[in-house]
Amino acid sequence: MVGTGPYATISCMKPYAITVVGGAGIVGREFLKILDERDVPVGRLRLLATQRSAGSTVEFRGSTITIEETSPDSFAGGDEIVFLSASGDASRQYAPLARDRGAFVIDDSSAFRMDPAVPLVIPEVNAGAMASHSGIISQPNCTTTPMVMALYPIHRDNPLRRIVVSTYQAVAGAGAAAVEGLRTETTAALAGRHEPSGTQRREIAFNAVPQVDDFVEGASTKEETKMANETRKILDAPDLAVSATCVRVPTFFGHAMAIWAEFERPVDPAEAREAIATMPGVRVVDEPGGERYPTPVDAAGNDDVLVGRIRADSSRPGGIALWAVTDSIRKGAATNVIQIIEEADRRGLVGPSAPR
């Protein structure tokens, strides 16, 4: 067995034929890196992307893989697992094709997250939901995952009633171009120039932008709506009150969030800290006396959700406030997908004989 805990890679896992749509992107590249780190066996690997990236090459386990352009003909059969890390439009077009030709599909876009027939999965929280899959599994938004993981160990014994959350999201969540955009904007700003890169809604260097994704009805953004609706679905809590404000900040990697949570019964901070510390994939870093708490720098390159500043919510007696940080490209995206693959293998959900 490689790694530790209930989601360690099992060395006898079958080497599957895997295809990655979006293989040239920041999440696709990290997915390959984590396959290696967790020693996941791979039988055959194909990388698909847009026409712009087609023809470029990627090194993987001593082999050079040429990225192919994605088209409907890309899914002629032979894929056992297809991971889509592309746009919602691409997922809506290609995920059903891959599924109908026998692949177990994992989608990283918002295309299927709220589809009642598609499980929305964080393996540490609701792996059992995968049993009802019909060929497609969706994974949550990169802000939903750490929030749910931090609150779930309390919620499972004392159901949530209300969440208020403010996020501080790194530019990596918007892709590799946004990371480069922050670099170029910062260089210009340090020289006294304002040169927006166009990768964010507003100039991001030395700034904070309270808009992630488009605005929708009710003056919330899509990102904020996703956090609320996805949390309700994952926790099977349709009446849960959730209010989110999502902000892009000038950090490269690591989404952070301040969370205020209220449960059916009052929660003591010490009780909350003890429960959160038992959660697989979560690490408590919370020593106020020593000024120890997690930051985005601590989360970068790390698979854990880091939680600190656990304290009583002085505005809501019985509620708690806390701070959580995670690497949005790893546990917020690529690592969660690999854990879904590992869990699907354990449950016999991949392959022609798998239940649909």
Q: φ and ψ at 339, to 5 degrees?
A: -65, -35
Cβ(295)–Cβ(276) below 8 Å = no
* Beta-carbon-side half-sphere exposure of residue 209 (alpha carbons within 13 Å): 23
142 is catalytic: yes
pLDDT the model gives residue 353: 63
Annotation says 12 is catalytic: no
Give the closest residue to 150 by CA, choosing from 322, 327, 291: 322
For the chain, domains (ranges, CATH) are 16-140+333-346 (3.40.50.720), 144-170+208-328 (3.30.360.10)
pTM: 0.93
> What does each of the 356 residues of the chain score in pLDDT, given as a tens digit?
334 344 444 457 899 999 999 999 999 999 999 999 999 999 999 999 999 999 999 999 999 999 999 999 999 889 999 999 999 999 999 999 999 999 999 999 999 999 999 999 999 999 999 999 999 999 999 999 999 999 999 999 999 999 999 999 999 999 999 999 999 999 999 999 999 999 999 999 999 999 999 999 889 999 999 999 999 999 999 999 999 999 999 999 999 999 999 999 999 999 999 999 999 999 999 999 999 999 999 999 999 999 999 999 999 999 999 999 999 999 999 999 999 999 999 999 997 667 66
Tokens 């708690």 sit on residue: 320
Q: Count the neighbouring beta carbons within 10 Å of the beta carbon of residue 107.
A: 30
Order of strands, edge to edge, in the sheet holding 255-263?
A: 241-248, 160-169, 255-263, 320-326, 305-312, 282-284
Supply the pLDDT for residue 76.
86
Q: Residue 255 forms beta bridges with which residues?
A: 326
Choosing from 142, 155, 194, 246, which is the catalytic residue? 142
